[in-house]
Structure 1
Amino acid sequence: MFASVLLAAQQLDYHTLLTYLRPPKPSAATLWWMLAAIIGAVCAFSAFELISRRIRTARIMQKSRDDFSRLALVFQLAPEEVKQLKTLVKLGQIKHPDRLLVSFEFFNSRLEEMGPNASRQLTESDVQELRIIRNKIFFGERMKLPPVRTTRDLKTNQWLHLKRQSDGKVFMAPVVEAAPTGLLAVTPKAQGKYVHFEPGEKFNIYFWRDRDASYHFESQVISQSGGRQLITRFEHVDDIERNQRRQYHRVDTNIPVTVIPVTREELEGSGPKKLKWDQPSLSGHVINLSGAGLALAMRLPLKANDLVYIELPAEDDGCLPVIAKILAVNRRGTTGEFIMNVEFAGMSPDTHEKIFRLIYSKAKQKLPAGV
């Protein structure tokens, strides 16, 4: 029998064998079903990807809004100031509002796009108020409030920067109450769960208040509330370390300038435009600059309370004329130069804005590459 099968196979040629082995030709209905299945799979995958992207975008936007609220608390912005920022977010259709509080360029670009010279969605008064808020955030205007000397003076919702001494991990938590039995703070979360702190764990705790000073103290955990551990109680501290901050952020510079001493009578009679031509000038250089004034190094000293006319460089390669008052004069021992602390006087809002832009440009030049 095997021989007969082998003989039959030898009699079949290649095309006959291929005919027997080839699968049957699919019908038109089968082809349409296959095409429909492929299209359905592509549509299902596309819909899944679209939904996933929208979910990711919604989460990112929600996180941005949460960060905006948290940073507003950290910067101690008043409710009216937060309301003004939210108005800017709404009018500008800003999808990531936290960028207003972390990017000086982004904040400025929104003001320029929506100001009276562009879309006119904001009035000049609105722009000036928002610039004041911006300066609080990025340059730290000082609020004249009494300093905090003990944790018993901390107010509700004051954010604390908790750094655990054992492993250096950092947590953020707002104050619930400065109770007689201890400082109560919301227990921070990590990966969606409340962090467990052991009684006696020591922390370095920092907080920033009113943009005028940073504070630091060491404390330890007394206890955590039972069950879900919603509240952590820290020991009170009565010797909080306070680091005074300047009224404005100060940046080191080395800007050569021309200084013209002027009297009050000359200033009232001629105005700044004539001063640089009619008065003898002195050479010096600005060694640091802030929104309130500058430090001026010169070979020849001037007197405290003297008025001077100074030309600073502007961002657009122009000239920024300012009138300033000398507050104090000190001699630098290493070089023999005189260092004069100078306060700006009678500055217009536009000039003040240009000063802040100059400060930011100088500060940005000092950042490491890639920052």
Structure 2
Amino acid sequence: DYGFKHSEISALWQLAKKCGIEEPLSLYISENSVNRCISSVIEEAKQKGAEDSTQVQAFLEKLYKFKTRVILDKENKRGIESTKSLDANQKLSVILKGKGVFKSRILNNGTQLIILLPYQISKQSKRPEFLSESEWDGKEISVYFWRNGDAGYAFDTKVIGTGIFRSDKALFLMHSTKLDRTQKRQSIRCKCEIYAQMYIVQQGEKIEYDKVETAPGYKCLLEDISEDGAMIRIGGKGKANVRIKIQFEINGALVVMHGVIRAVEWNSQIGQSRIHFECTHIEKGMRNTVLAFVYNVIPPEQKEIHQAIEQASSEENQVQEETSTEENVQKENSSQ
């Protein structure tokens, strides 16, 4: 399933023993065991000056694919079966038949699931708008949410009451044990702050995947990244379904990703867009560079440096961005 040749499986088993892993079969269930093997391969290849060789990069690619499967298999088994497992502040999308889709979040989870009175953002005023509580009371609704580090879920339930919870107008919902999983992740994504150059691929333009741009492009910031794409912040209003190329460095290594803008979140107040970028092509060595960053699997001599930089960066960026929408929701909700 992972594309290993018989000789590579043998080498992987020998590598496991070399790394002090007594039972090689633990590689199938232990992320840490796979980490030790990957780090060993990188370190040994670096000592021999062969880290960029085709053979080493091909073997690393298979190891990363193997690691991804180990992580996702573990997470897929960790899925939830009841709304009683949900945490407070979990963001929700709520559908009320005939009225549309509303935003909400969990206020409290006890004998009942208590959520903020759902709202929609007005296209004209950009402020939250609410239906009266009576329009929700007793209604059947559908709820969708994305559980951090897991997957998307959906469930149907009934509004069994309305009222006030800690000064917020709220709906009281019946719990559900029938949760449908809506999506399983195919790649691992991590948050980051990487400055990059973005280039628009014109319609009809011949794409040269191995070309490295020397002229400056549009400046942008990668906010999260995976081997399959990234979340990109740019100044100005982005446009969906546009082919682009992004170029940046990770730990001094050049990475070029080709792909398509699948969706755009436009924030008119700050004049910026968040772009959902799907990568359709990346060279094997560059994919491994991204995966090494995502998994933070680096040789021992670089690990302390990386941790120091990461710690300094996190301390400098402790202040989180608060949106005016959330502030408006609290004001509007409490004033009604």
Coarse TM-score class (shorter-chain normalised)? 0.3 to 0.5
TM norm structure 1: 0.43
Structure with a larger share of its residues in strand:
2
> When the two structures are superposed, what TM-score results if normalisation uses the length of structure 2?
0.46
- 1 or 2, which has the higher helix percentage? 1
